Amino acid sequence: MRRRGFIQGIAALAAFPRAAKAQAAPVLGFLHASSATGYAKELAGFRQGLREAGFTEGQNLTIEYRWADGHYDRLPAMAADLVRRRVAAIAAAPIPAALAAKTATSDIPIVFEQGAEPVRSGLVQSLNRPGANITGVVNLGVGLIVKRIEIIHQLVPNARSLAVLINPANANADEMTGEAQRSQAQLGVTAEIMKVTTLDEIEKAFAKAAELKAGAVVVGADPTMNSLSAQIAGIATRHKLPVCGEVSELTKAGGLFNYGADLPDAYRLAGTYVARILKGEKPADLPVQQATKVEMTINLKIAKALGIAVPLPLSALASDVIE
């Protein structure tokens, strides 16, 4: 009996590594075109979505992060590295990262978060039936540049021209440029499109905007420029130019206002989709979600310093007001 018990004990010990391996936390790849500091709120939203669906990083989930810090050319190698590590799934944002992930693998599940239309950009076959190994969440970011131009025109009605900053490396650059140009005809203002990728180019664009006597600067939706919100606000302050963009970090740092997609909520939705895939669902069976929440913050302190009157009805629509 003792010999039998001993053999059973040895067998149990031999089986233990296999059982432990079977119960090991899945490893998720997280691929992003921007920086961890620039997208801290969005990452918090993503983790919240995972937690809501039962996954907590460091407990029953491990996340391998890859941040390109605005260097989109690094994304293909980062995506390939995650594939080599055989992660259980890849979360990719925004579209440059999603495209890199799709190119790198046709079998590892991918969940994207982005502002571009995913069928037109070639990511999925259709919104209801994405097909293959990819699905995700689309926010309203790209199209809202028109709304920003409309609001800035309302706040600075005498401006005959506006400077619009677009990152040409962004896959949505042409679409945003077209939207801005169409809005200028409707509002009777000139939209000066300025292509910028680096902080030095942004500095030069503001100097040119001041030289052209532009009434304000509108920043297009872009992860690189979002991560430079504090610097952009500082440049605007030096030139005494009102500036608006997509994210609240710009407004809190000294911008006039932001109007854009509620990115933390969109990332939260992406987190819930990743969790569903980790539980066994297939990306091809999960329709692309449309995140519909928007956020607007108005900086009344900056408005007063610039001599801009903010109508009460507009203030009432804001998610947050800085006084």
Residue pLDDT, tens place only, 190-205: 999 999 999 999 999 9
C-alpha distances out from residue 20 to 25, 106, 160, Å: 10, 29, 67
- pTM for this one? 0.83
For the ranges 3-17, 36-50, 58-72, the lowest mean pLDDT is seen at: 3-17
What does the pLDDT look like over 218-243, one tens digit per residue?
A: 999 988 899 899 999 999 999 999 99
Give the CB-side neighbour count of residue 59, counting CA atoms within 13 A.
6
Q: From CA 301, how far away is CA 253, in angstroms rounded?
A: 11
For the ranges 14-18, 134-138, 249-253, the lowest mean pLDDT is seen at: 14-18
What does the pLDDT look like over 104-146, one tens digit per residue?
A: 999 999 999 998 889 988 899 999 999 899 999 999 877 899 9
Residue 2 has pLDDT above 70, yes or no: no
Residue 251 has pLDDT above 50, yes or no: yes
pLDDT of residue 218: 97
pLDDT of residue 25: 92
Of 318, 24, 311, 1, residue with least CA distance to 153: 311
Topology of domain 142-261+295-322 in CATH is Rossmann fold (3.40.50)
SS3 244: strand
All structural domains of the chain with their residue ranges: 2-139+263-292, 142-261+295-322
Band of the pLDDT at 23, cuts 50, 70, 90?
Answer: low
H/E stretch holding 194 reads strand 190-195
- The rounded radius of gyration (Å) of the Cα atoms in the chain is 23
- Order of strands across the sheet that contains 217-219: 190-195, 161-166, 217-219, 243-245, 257-261, 294-299, 320-322
Evaluate whether 2-139+263-292 and 142-261+295-322 have a shared fold. yes
pLDDT of residue 10: 45
Q: What percent of the chain has pLDDT over 90?
A: 78
Residue 24 has pLDDT above 90, yes or no: no
Residue 186 has pLDDT above 60, yes or no: yes
Question: How is domain 2-139+263-292 classified at the architecture level of CATH?
Answer: 3-Layer(aba) Sandwich (3.40)
For the residues 10-24, what does the mean pLDDT come to?
48
Whether 262 and 42 have beta carbons less than 8 Å apart is answered as no
pLDDT of residue 169: 87
SS3 139: coil
Residues, the chain = 323
Average pLDDT over all residues of the chain: 91
